[in-house]
Amino acid sequence: MKKRFRYILLLIALCAIDCAAQNFDEYFTDRTLRIDYIFAGNAQQQDISVDELCVEPRWWGKRKRLTEVPMDGNGQIIVKDHATGNTIYRNSFSTLFQEWLTYPEAETTRKSFENVFLVPMPQKTADVTVELYDNRRQVKTRMTHTVNPADILIRHTGYEHVTPYETLQQPADTAHAIRIAYIAEGYQAAEMPQFIKDARAAMEAMFAHEPFKTLRNRFHIVAVKAPSVDSGTSEPSKGIWKNTALHSHFDTFYSSRYLTTLHLKDLHEWLAGTPYEHIIVLVNTATYGGGGILNSYNLTAAHHPSTLPVVVHEFGHSFAGLADEYAYEAEAIPMYPHDIEPWEANITTLKDFQAKWADMIGKRTKIPTPLNPKQMDKPGVYEGAGYSLKGVYRAYQDCRMRTNEHPEFCPVCRRQIERVIRFYTE
């Protein structure tokens, strides 16, 4: 009985610590601490360095469940109170740097990448840790630094000269809302009316999908008018280089349709002072391309015939941490080891299937589940996902995360998206 009593007291103490960490006003002020990092290295060794600290006038992220994350991600940023060591904030993310590490170039070349993370401004000195994980979900590299909120070299940004923006939608409850900023890339000043039109079309495309449609009133959405000198975007394979706000370009990692920006500091400078947490970049081009990176940004070509399904697909990546459900005939990038369960909610290697959608399939469902064109709405365990033809499985034969032609997210993806929306707003 004494051991059990001590155990109960320990649980109560741990709960008290955790509950204290959830009190936003006790640990933070209503401002954003923007931390710019440089991630550098190669496949063998990676390093993390602090580049710059900035403070912005408001905090637009979560105020509850501060030490929880709705998905593990490929890395995490962790804020601890310096005096007590208590964790007071945590968020997960993925990065282009980590993706680049899987390419052959990383075996022989060192490169550096900008990365920017937003955390609420601590009231007192805090220790900030950044961790990067490999595809076996193990810590690859870790760095901790101390932030003193009174540091005079923390640059103030977003207090003046805020980029003009239009509000596209107000939430029902501003205290419990998810804030998305659409930002113009490759639009000249005279083209901003077209950008606003494109942003509205992309927004409506997202809200045409469940569960965004039902939970629409939980989103606050703005369109940020970042002007570019040139119209369009760079296409290196064609020798085309444009002077644009975010310096986006096709041919990322030598993949012709991979459209990204590596200039994350520029991205956040344009957004400073606007109400944003999640970012959707619309690029003024009709060439197919884009990309989505968890809690970093979603970037999509604005004028291709497939733009609307693509922007929704990419938001599935950047907002809800959903994996691609398609597979390549020849897998160039072994992203998911078959003996490790992926953290993404919509794919499995069957190493911990009970944590995925096992509750959504019948007990007599064959695993793997045979493809059957006559039962497209039947949940199962279908082989071929996460870029792999073998060893990685999806829940449905088709889904928005598999093809642009499928009209909806599958029920597994919808459940994950709803979980994330409710995580941020309840």
Domain chopping of the chain, boundaries: 19-156, 165-320, 324-404
Q: What's the pLDDT score for residue 15? A: 45
| Model confidence band, residue 1 (pLDDT cutoffs 50, 70, 90) | very low
Q: H/E element holding 192?
A: helix 192-207
Q: What's the pLDDT score for residue 330? A: 72
- The token duo for 117 is 């993370």
| Region of 192 on the Ramachandran plot (φ > 0 left; ψ -120 to 50 alpha; else beta) | alpha
pLDDT > 50? residue 328: yes
Domain covering 19-156: architecture: Sandwich (2.60)
pLDDT tens digits, residue range 47-66? 999 999 999 999 999 999 99
| Model confidence band, residue 153 (pLDDT cutoffs 50, 70, 90) | very high
pLDDT tens digits, residue range 185-237? 999 999 999 999 999 999 999 999 999 999 999 999 999 999 999 999 999 99
Spatial distance between the Cα atoms of 223 and 267, rounded to a whole number of angstroms: 14
- The beta-strand segments (E) located in 247-397 are 278-283, 290-293, 297-301, 382-385, 388-394
| Helical residues (DSSP H) of 101-170, grouped into ranges | 105-108
Q: H/E element holding 195?
A: helix 192-207
Burial of 8 (0-12, 13-18, 19+ CB in 10 A): exposed
- The token duo for 143 is 């760095």
Tell me the C-alpha to C-alpha distance, in Å, between residue 162 and each of 57, 158, 229, 269, 360.
Answer: 11, 6, 18, 9, 47
Length of the chain in residues, anyone?
426
Q: What's the pLDDT score for residue 334? A: 73
pLDDT tens digits, residue range 241-299? 999 999 999 999 999 999 999 999 999 999 999 999 999 999 999 999 999 999 999 99
Residue in this structure with the two tokens 């993949």, named with its chain if needed = 255
Taking all residues of the chain, what is their mean pLDDT, rounded to a whole number? 94
pLDDT tens digits, residue range 12-34? 444 444 444 468 999 999 999 99
Q: H/E element holding 13?
A: helix 2-21
Q: What's the pLDDT score for residue 18? A: 47
Q: Please tell me the CATH superfamily of domain 165-320, with its number.
A: Collagenase (Catalytic Domain) (3.40.390.10)
Q: What's the pLDDT score for residue 332? A: 58
Q: What is the pTM of this model?
A: 0.94
- What is the DSSP annotation of 68-94? --SS--SEEEEEEETTT--EEEEEEE-
Spatial distance between the Cα atoms of 179 and 100, rounded to a whole number of angstroms: 29
Spatial distance between the Cα atoms of 226 and 74, rounded to a whole number of angstroms: 29
- What is the DSSP annotation of 356-379? TTGGGS-TT--SSPPP-GGGTT--
The b-or-e profile of 270-295 (16+ CB within 10 A means b, else e) is: bbbbbbbbbbbbbbbbebbbbbbbbb
pLDDT tens digits, residue range 83-142? 999 999 999 999 999 999 999 999 999 999 999 999 999 999 999 999 999 999 999 999
Q: H/E element holding 41?
A: strand 28-41
DSSP state at residue 136: T
Tell me the C-alpha to C-alpha distance, in Å, between residue 185 and each of 232, 283, 372.
Answer: 8, 5, 42
pLDDT tens digits, residue range 385-404? 999 999 999 999 999 999 99
